[in-house]
Amino acid sequence: MPEDWSKDGRYLAFGSNSGSGAFGDLYALPLFGDRKPIQVAHSPSAEDEPRFSFDGKWLAYNSNESGMTQVYVVSFPAVDQKLQITTAGGVQPRWRRDDKELYYLAPDGAMMAVEFRSTVQSEAPHRLFDSGLSPDQSRDQYAVSPDGQHFLIELPVRDGSVVPVTLIMNWTTAFKK
């Protein structure tokens, strides 16, 4: 299952059930050279939702290896340093463009942010706002602007009303008038 492209277009992060009893393992496929997949996360637990940092040196993802779904970050492409970012649960990690902050959804739907430092333990996560979402790992529910100042959130319709959709066909003919 393809999940994310590195910003330089050189790698594709994807999830795969390896058949070894693991629910979901994560790999990165180099789109150059021998194209041999790099194993990013492999365990009997479920790993999901990988997201490359903008500089391509880190890959954030979630895993339930601790018994609760948490956000982790692993160095890339040398997968030799792994950091646990959350302790109270989290899904759907997203990076700010400067890679100094990571966003995620807490189990209660709060939009969280954590300052990311690659050499030492990151700062404690802090709550930004209540997103109104029930986190769902099976789909992307939000996007964040590169500067981390704006969030696009897929909110469910609460009142059950249907919002009409207007489709304009042959709209280019209006330019000829």
* CATH code of the domain in which 169 resides: 2.120.10.30
Structural domain tally of the chain? Answer: 1
Q: What is the pLDDT of residues 100-121, one digit of tens each?
A: 999 999 999 999 999 998 766 6
Q: How crowded is residue 26: how many other Cβ atoms within 10 Å of its Cβ? A: 26
Nearest to 26 by CA among 18, 163, 127, 175: 18
Cα(24)–Cα(20) distance, integer angstroms: 10
For the entire predicted model, the pTM comes to 0.84
Beta bridge partner(s), residue 75: 58
Domain containing 98 equals 2-176
Cα(175)–Cα(117) distance, integer angstroms: 52
Nearest to 40 by CA among 32, 31, 30: 30
Cα(69)–Cα(79) distance, integer angstroms: 20
Q: What is the pLDDT of residues 22-81, one digit of tens each?
A: 467 999 999 999 999 999 998 888 899 999 999 999 999 999 999 999 999 999 999 999
* 106's tokens: 């807490």
